[in-house]
Structures are given as structure tokens and as C-alpha cells.
Amino acid sequence: MNNVTSRRDALLMRGATIASVSVAVALILIKLAAYILSGSVSLLSSLIDSLIDSLASMVNFFAVRQALEPADMEHRFGHGKAEPLAGMVQAAFITGSSLFLFFEAGFRLLNPHYIEYANVSIVVMGISLVVTIILVIFQQYVVKETNSVAIRADSIHYVSDILQNLCVILALVLSTKFNLPIADPLFALFIGTYILYSAWQIARQSYDQLMDREMPDEDRDRIRKIALSHPSVRNMHELRTRLSGRNIFIQLHLEMDGGLSLYEAHTVADYVEESLRNAFPNADVIIHEDPTGIFERRQAL
């Protein structure tokens, strides 16, 4: 990836973290005021989630900056693992918020509470909905351009916020306009369940990167196709891949005619390496060149 593109990606990622923190803080303030007025437990669920969002977004803020640091003498593979680490922290925050929400909603099911100032709360949630949609659209654009794990994780729980805001508005309407106070805690339980599912998605993706899970089969097949496209390549083996934040690491052995000179084999490997980097931006490619027909011990992968 060229330096211009790298700077652009870094700017997008930093912008996304700043926007996320700013939105979370603004939503906390207006939701807190609305909750104090209304006492709605479903609105409390949204307030709690915004508090968690702010903490998670702050973690992202620092993690993304760490992940964007170039490789150094002590971290030869870069700092990309900061992103999945941040994802695991976010998953823990989100899980904790959903458990607290389950407890509060259960209490309100046993002790129904009449919601006051519902109209003000509905307006607040409407504002939150619009702001969150705008943020998610921007985050999705950044993810598409940079493939950032941390921004993707942040976007997942903001997507859940959109559903949550809709549920809170519906719960407020049902509780106050249709005299169904039980709707408030029931919707809070539904929101808590969805938040918990979002935490699982984030944790699973982050865990895969921390454990160096292989890239998807379709990507590995694409790598093989590219490597075998050069006419001098007879075969390939020992393909290994992993992700570290936005960085991709690809290792493989190329089999070529043993009669090729070292210079010719090196030229072929350079061509394959460049082709792989064009197909997989941010890829670090290591190629070992083997003469065709030579026996060597291989892993059964």
C-alpha cells in the first residue's frame, strides 16, 4: 500500500474514533436528562449502552492510534493486535451492560413504573436515532476503505443502538399512549439480549485474530490462483495466512523448474509477491522458492 493511501486510511480511522467518542458523550447527556424526567427502564437501557459506548469508543480511540504505529525494533510485525485486543475489551463492556440491564428490567417487571414526560423522551430518542444512523454510515464507509477490526467492532454495537433506539421509542409509545407499562421492561429485555449477541460477535472476531486464525477459504483459494497464474510456477504448498488488525500476513512455498537460475526464480517470486499485494492491500508476503520434485517434510494442512 502506498504512503498516500496509508495516510488517508489513518486519517479515516482517527476521524471515526473521534466521531464515535463525540457522539457517545453527546447522547449520554441528553439521555440522562430524559431518564431523570421519565424514569423509563428502556430509556435507562439506552443510557447504559451509551455509557458503555463511550468507554468502548475511548478504548478504540487509543487502540487505533497504537495499531497505526509502524513496526519497530521490538514489534517487527507492527502493532495491529491492538485492534482485536480493543475488540475483546469492548465485548466485556457490552456484556456487563446487558447483564445489568437484565437485572433492572426484571425488577421493573415485578414493580411496574408509570413513565412521565414521555413526549420529551421520545424526542430525545428520535434525535439519538438520527445521530446514530449518521455515525454508522460513516463508520461503515471507514470499514470498507480500511478493513479496520476496531472500527468494525465499534460499528456493530452502534448498529445495535439503532435497533435499541427504535425499541425504546416503541416502548414509550405503548407504555404511555396505550397504557401498557409492561412493554417498557419487556423491550428492555429484548434490547439486552440483542446487545449480548453483539458482544459475542465482537468477541469471536477479535479472538480469531488474536489466535491467528487462517483467512477464509475463498481468500486462500484466491491466493493459490494468483500464485499459480505465472507460467513458471509448477505448484505451491505450505500456505499460511493470518490477520493482525488491518495487516495481512501471507507465507507460501513456490515450486519452479530446478533448472531456473537463482535470479530467474527470484524474479518469478517477486512477480507473484507483487500480484498478491495488489490483490490484498496491507499484505506482508513471504515466499520460499523450491525446485520441483524435491522431497521435503511438509505439514498436512
**Percent of the chain residues topping a pLDDT of 70:** 84
Query: Taking 50 as the threshold, does the pLDDT of residue 1 lie above it?
Result: no
Looking at the domain assignment, is residue 283 inside a domain?
A: yes
Q: Are residues 62 and 206 in the same domain?
A: yes
Q: Are residues 140 and 238 in the same domain?
A: no
80-131 pLDDT, tens digit each: 777 777 778 878 877 877 787 787 677 777 776 666 666 777 888 888 889 9
Q: Are residues 78 and 94 in the same domain?
A: yes
Please tell me whether the overall predicted TM-score, pTM, comes out greater than 0.85 for this model. no
Highest mean pLDDT among 110-114, 210-214, 261-265, 292-296: 261-265
| Phi, psi at 296, each rounded to 5° | -150, 150
Query: Taking 50 as the threshold, does the pLDDT of residue 4 lie above it?
Result: no
Q: Are residues 181 and 206 in the same domain?
A: yes
Instruction: Choose one of 147, 177, 210: the last residue of a domain.
Output: 210
The confidence score (pLDDT) of residue 222 equals 94
Which residues are CB-contacts of 257 (< 8 A; sequence separation ≥ 6)?
Answer: 232, 234, 291, 292
For 259, the domain range is 217-291
Instruction: Choose one of 210, 226, 256: the last residue of a domain.
Output: 210
Looking at the domain assignment, is residue 297 inside a domain?
A: no
Q: Are residues 47 and 174 in the same domain?
A: yes
Q: Are residues 150 and 238 in the same domain?
A: no
Looking at the domain assignment, is residue 298 inside a domain?
A: no
| Phi, psi at 293, each rounded to 5° | 95, -10
Looking at the domain assignment, is residue 296 inside a domain?
A: no
Q: Are residues 49 and 190 in the same domain?
A: yes
Query: Taking 80 as the threshold, does the pLDDT of residue 141 lie above it?
Result: yes
- Would you place residue 223 in the very low, low, confident or very high pLDDT band (cuts 50, 70, 90)? very high
The confidence score (pLDDT) of residue 242 equals 87
Q: Are residues 239 and 203 in the same domain?
A: no
Summarize the confidence of residues 53-58 as an average pLDDT: 74
Task: Write down how long the chain is.
Answer: 301
Summarize the confidence of residues 188-207 as an average pLDDT: 80
The confidence score (pLDDT) of residue 2 equals 42
The confidence score (pLDDT) of residue 5 equals 43
Query: Taking 90 as the threshold, does the pLDDT of residue 276 lie above it?
Result: yes
How far is CA 147 from each of CA 153, 209, 214, rounded to the nearest angstrom?
Answer: 11, 13, 16
Distance, CA of 265 to CA of 146 (rounded, Å): 33
Q: Among 48-57, 237-246, 248-257, where is mean pLDDT lowest?
A: 48-57
